[in-house]
């Protein structure tokens, strides 16, 4: 059990570099600060992967009527970001599925991204098999495991990404390959320009939120200090909806803290009623508003009116402004601030941000009880054998 003294934590610990290194045993701070360099590496491996499967991808051009991202946890966040990033770019619908199977409409004209960092996520392996059975155009993104084996045997496009890091730290590797495949298929364009702006902004931003920058000048440390001892409620809108969810899950996994997310304008039709009675419980929350200087006027008005009517009366409120002109720069600049804030909050709580023991224990117990991976292997092998027989007929 994690022991945390919420009343006596020394917030000066965030400016104690030795203490940060002592608590951050597995280097999650460095993973966060490496976001721009991970983006550059992911760009390069994505381009190589696209070239490797250029012939097959070319044969798919003009034949895609829908897109599905199948993944779980940290691997699924990349799908959420992809969907919002591409919303104004795609002429075909896209969905993110966190489940064992695909929707009934999935067919030979459906592009399916199966994404699992470990390659051992049973829901994603099951979705991969379902996609093959439905005749979908399947792509796999993974660092190894059974998903790699399945993709190789099925001769599906496979983008291999670096192993050995927590899945939540591998976001660029899970996200960017999908973007490059969409571009290669002619479904989106202008990716290189957006990435150039994004990497430049991230390189500048990391210098302002790194541990060496004192709390008074460090947005991520300030956010962690404000959230400490409360429950973060992160609110986004439109393209920042998945960013709000990313903040929430990083507080969950890195800080070992409860956290919640929602989005405008939907929250104005339900969530704000929780603040109407001015219940003392609302003081347990810190409301984090994700803002953009490009936000639509109607959203800007909603955020400001909602904050004035509800949140400012009983909760702490912290605004995080995205940087850049492109949606991708907006998304990843806010994510860098939030990721580091979640790590700094873990430091304030006196805990190592990297281990996720309860998740690992849950996976192990489920695997022990169901033997699901082996059953999926057998199902896949049967599918491949049937395919070989059909080819001979």
* Active-site residue list: 253, 269, 363
Distance CA 46, CA 40 (A): 10
- The secondary structure of 235-286, three-state, reads EEEHHHHHHHHHHHHHHHHCCCCCCEEEEECHHHHCHHHHHCCCCHHHHHEE
Distance CA 36, CA 330 (A): 14
Query: What single DSSP character describes residue 107?
Result: -
In 3D, which of 187, 192, 193, 173 has the Cα closest to residue 46? 173
**What are the DSSP E strand ranges found in 54-190?**
66-70, 94-97, 110-116, 137-142, 158-160
Angle in degrees, CA 346, 348, 352, rounded to 5? 35
Distance CA 208, CA 202 (A): 10
**What are the DSSP E strand ranges found in the chain?**
66-70, 94-97, 110-116, 137-142, 158-160, 231-237, 260-264, 285-291, 316-321
């Amino acid at each position: 059990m994690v022991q945390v003294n919420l009343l006596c934590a020394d917030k000066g610990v965030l400016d104690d570099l030795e203490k940060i290194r002592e608590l951050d045993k597995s280097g999650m701070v460095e993973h966060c600060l490496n976001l721009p360099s991970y983006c550059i590496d992911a760009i390069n491996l994505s381009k190589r992967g696209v070239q490797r499967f250029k012939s097959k991808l070319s044969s798919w051009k003009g034949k895609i009527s829908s897109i599905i991202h199948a993944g779980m946890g940290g691997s699924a966040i990349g799908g959420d970001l992809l969907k919002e990033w591409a919303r104004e770019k795609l002429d075909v619908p896209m969905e993110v599925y966190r489940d064992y199977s695909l929707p009934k409409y999935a067919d030979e004209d459906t592009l399916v991204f199966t994404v699992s960092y470990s390659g051992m996520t049973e829901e994603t392996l099951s979705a991969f098999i379902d996609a093959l059975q439905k005749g979908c155009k399947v792509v796999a993104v993974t660092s190894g495991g059974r998903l790699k084996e399945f993709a190789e045997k099925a001769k599906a496009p496979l983008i291999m990404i670096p192993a050995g890091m927590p899945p939540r730290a591998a976001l660029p590797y899970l996200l960017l390959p999908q973007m490059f495949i969409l571009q290669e298929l002619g479904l989106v364009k202008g990716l290189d320009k957006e990435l150039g702006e994004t990497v430049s902004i991230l390189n500048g931003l990391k210098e302002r939120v790194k541990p060496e920058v004192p709390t008074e000048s460090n947005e991520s440390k300030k956010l962690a200090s404000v959230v400490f001892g409360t429950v973060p409620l992160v609110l986004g809108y439109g393209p920042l909806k998945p960013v709000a969810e990313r903040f929430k899950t990083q507080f969950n996994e890195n800080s070992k803290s409860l956290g919640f997310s929602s989005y405008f304008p939907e929250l104005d039709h339900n969530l704000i009623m929780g603040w109407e009675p001015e219940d003392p419980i609302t003081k347990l929350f810190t409301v984090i508003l994700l803002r953009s200087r490009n936000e639509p006027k109607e959203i800007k008005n909603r955020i400001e009116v909602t904050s004035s009517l509800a949140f400012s009366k009983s909760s702490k409120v912290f605004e995080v402004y995205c940087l850049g002109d492109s949606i991708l720069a907006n998304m990843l600049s806010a994510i860098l601030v939030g990721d580091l804030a979640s790590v700094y909050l873990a430091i304030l709580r006196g805990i190592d941000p990297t281990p996720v023991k309860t998740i690992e224990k849950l996976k192990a117990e489920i695997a022990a009880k169901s033997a699901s991976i082996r059953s999926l292997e057998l199902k896949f092998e049967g599918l491949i054998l049937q395919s070989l027989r059909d080819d001979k007929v």
